[in-house]
Amino acid sequence: MKPEDREALWRVLEARRDHRHFRTDPVDDAALLRILDAFRVAPSVGLSQPWHVTVVRNAALRQTVYDSFAGVRAREQERFQGERRALYSTLKLEGIREAPVGLVVSFVPPVQATLGTTSLPAALEYSVVSAITLAWLAATAEGLGLGWVSLVEPGAVHEALGLAPHLRPLAYLCLGHPALDLHEPLLQTVGWAERRPLALDWRD
Ligand SMILES: Cc1cc2nc3c(=O)[nH]c(=O)nc-3n(C[C@H](O)[C@H](O)[C@H](O)COP(=O)(O)O)c2cc1C
């Protein structure tokens, strides 16, 4: 790889943000397909590729996902007290209705034994997460914003979208044109949390 390749990669890594504010105009189909193509090149334990993606452009279905989010958010807010709860109530934690595309990334449990999962079966789910990260970077390179919403009930998403019984939704991703230019994690900007230095030690 040339130095300019490394620099280009780092521009993408640094520019990637979790977005919650979106414009509502559509995402170009060719860009969407390039982002989905990130799953093709993603690593997975035993080359299991245990994922399935459902593209949700239907606004009524996205509203149903939002309804699930609203319930989870209300419950989550109760877990914080005092000033922390007040700050939580101001946070925007999703862009499900504004973002024109939702991506439900489901885990597909393999039917047969998978190489590499004997001591750590969760490596299968980790594989799905690592693939999502590549798609996140691909979206960034397209100039699009992606936001990961974990505050939804997997069962509600499964039912609303009529997913096949063997699929286990792991992530709901909002994809669209970002409405805000973010240069640091939004949760840091609003004073909820801060980036920390890497916890690191060495065994030379
Ligand atoms: C597994 C996962 C779940 C997340 N779920 C949410 C979520 O439900 N709502 C939200 O606003 N951000 C969510 N985020 C985004 C994080 O808040 C964000 O990555 C973090 O604050 C750092 O910001 P950055 O991604 O812009 O660097 C999630 C991120 C990950 C990796």
**Structure token digits, residue 139:** 């979206």
Mean pLDDT, residues 4-23 taken together: 98
Q: Are 112 and 34 in contact (CB under 8 A)?
A: no
Mean pLDDT, residues 37-46 taken together: 98
204 falls within a domain: no
As for ligand 1, residues whose beta carbon falls within 6 Å of it are 17-18, 20, 93-94, 148-151, 185, 187
Residue 19 Cα to ligand 1 midpoint, Å, equals 8
CA distances from 120 to 116, 117, 166 (A): 8, 5, 21
Q: What are phi and psi of 55, to 5 degrees?
A: -90, 120
Query: Given the CA of residue 152, which atom of ligand 1 is nearest to it?
Result: 8
The pLDDT value given to residue 101: 98
Q: How many domains does the chain have?
A: 1
164 falls within a domain: yes
Q: What is the CATH number of the domain that holds 92?
A: 3.40.109.10
76 falls within a domain: yes
61 falls within a domain: yes
Mean pLDDT, residues 29-44 taken together: 98
Q: What is the pLDDT of residues 128-149, one digit of tens each?
A: 999 999 999 999 999 999 999 9
The pLDDT value given to residue 39: 98
Q: Which of the four pLDDT bands, split at 50, 70 and 90, describes residue 45?
A: very high
Cα torsion through 198, 145, 159, 164, rounded to 10: -80
Residue 148 Cα to ligand 1 midpoint, Å, equals 6
**Structure token digits, residue 108:** 């597909």
Q: Are 169 and 39 in contact (CB under 8 A)?
A: no
Q: What is the pLDDT of residues 170-197, one digit of tens each?
A: 999 999 999 999 999 999 999 999 999 9
Of all protein residues, the one whose alpha carbon is nearest to atom 16 of ligand 1 is: 18
168 falls within a domain: yes
Q: Are 171 and 148 in contact (CB under 8 A)?
A: yes
Q: Tell me the residue length of the chain.
A: 204
196 falls within a domain: no
Residue 186 Cα to ligand 1 midpoint, Å, equals 9
Range of the domain at 102: 16-189
CA distances from 6 to 109, 141, 153 (A): 35, 14, 39
Query: Given the CA of residue 188, which atom of ligand 1 is nearest to it?
Result: 21
169 falls within a domain: yes
The pLDDT value given to residue 91: 98
